[in-house]
Structure 1
Amino acid sequence: MTTRGAEMLREELQRLKSEDRPRIIQAIADAREHGDLKENAEYHAAREQQGFCEGRIQEIEAKLSNAQVIDVTKVPNQGKVIFGATVTIYNTSTDKEVTYRIVGDDEADIKQNLISVNSPIARALIGKQVDDAVMVTTPSGDVEYEVVDVKYL
């Protein structure tokens, strides 16, 4: 994962531990005061929230402990598309340019032009250089792109 992705996970982990966990514990305590736990919907909802929160904490901790964090800014830019690179490509059939950043699966967000390294476009782009033509197989057919720019931001 990229350094930005690792930082976002650390921030989420901190929020879960310092804000969400205490709020859920308080909600459980408040629900217990209402009496019978068998038919107490607030108690059961709070316990379910607690389960989701604890599960997410474990998931993030596991990802961070196993992650290989790559800071692309410390890699010399030789013009090749690599993990973490920001790539501008030109669609030869629609005459449109688009810029993507190749990131890990957890960081991918197409609305922010962050594509997973495992996506078809990223897999086709890895290892290419400026002015290389790339053929990407999509559900609607093959699309040809040309690599316009590669930056290590």
Structure 2
Amino acid sequence: MSRGFVKEDDQEEIPIVPPRADLPDRVTNYVTQVGMDALENEKNALIASKDIVEAINENERRITINYINAKLQLLKNRIASAKVVDLEKQNKDRVLFGAKVTLKINNDNKLQQFQLVGVDEANISKGKISFISPIAKILINKKEGEKAVLKLVKEDRSFEIIKIKY
């Protein structure tokens, strides 16, 4: 049936679903096991939420289910492309994916620790940075004691690698 014959009130709203964290084309979707577990838990929570959708009317319920299904599809695509990295097999003397790196930034005596993780795991407030972030890119393959410099518009920022842990 043509949409011209449908009452305006009966037209289905298309849910707008925010995209997942950006992962550029042709970049492998590396994740830690913790990150993969979090993705699976998120998927299970979304599936469970479909069963308990409460809505004022059937139309609202359909819109909510469509929104959950759209989020699930994005999540399933991300899980399907995920490649779990076994941190035990990483070269322990170099900064690689999954490393927890203790850094001295510029001449600040306060040390900071970051872990290089997948794009979906990244959360700066938890000290987790995406492996595709500018900071991670300059740290990759460095060893303890080495420095990496991030060139910024107004100044350069120096990162000295104090400790690497997996």
Specify every segment of 5 or more residues in structure 1 that has no aligned partner in the other structure, as ranges: 33-42
For residues 86-120 of structure 1, give each alpha carbon's deviation from its aligned partner in whole angstroms, at most 9, with x where no partner exists: 10010133222100000011110000000001111
Structure 2 distance, partners of 1:4, 1:139, is: 35
For 1:100, what is the secondary structure of its paired residue? strand
What is the aligned counterpart of 2:69 among 42, 48, 54? Answer: 54
Matches within 5 A, 1:8-23: 8-17=38-47, 19-23=48-52
CA distance in structure 1 between the partners assigned to 2:85 and 2:43 by the alignment: 20
Partners of 1:150 and 1:9 in 2: how far apart? Answer: 26
What is the identity percentage for the equivalent residue pairs of Structure 1 and Structure 2? Answer: 27
Residues paired across the two proteins, number: 136
Secondary structure of 2:96's match? coil
Per the alignment, do residues 139 and 5 of structure 1 end up closer, same or farther by CA in structure 2, a change over 3 Å counting?
A: farther
**Match for 2:50: what amino acid?**
R
CA 1:147–1:16 in 2, change beyond 3 Å: closer, same or farther? same
Structure 2 residue corresponding to 1:90, chosen from 96, 99, 104: 104
Does structure 2 retain, via aligned residues, the 8 Å contact 1:130–1:147? yes
Q: Look up the SS of the partner of 1:68 in the other structure.
A: strand
CA RMSD of aligned residues (A): 1.6
Distance 1:131 1:57, change over 3 A: same
The answer on 1:31 being equivalent to 2:60 is no
Answer yes or no: is the 8 Å Cα contact 2:90–2:96 preserved in 1.
no
Amino acid in structure 2 at the alignment position of 1:23: I
1:5 corresponds, among 31, 35, 44, to 35
Equivalent in the alignment of 1:142: 156
Amino acid paired to 1:112: K
Measure how far apart 1:84 and its partner are.
0.6
Q: Which moved more, 1:64-73 or 1:121-130?
A: 64-73
Q: Gapped runs of 5+ residues in structure 2? A: 1-30
* DSSP-derived class of the 1:80 partner: coil
TM-score (norm 2): 0.75
C-alpha deviation, 1:136, in angstroms: 1.2
Task: Give the whole-Å Cα distance in 2 for the aligned partners of 1:140 and 1:149.
Answer: 28
Runs of 4+ in 1 over 4 A off after TM superposition: none
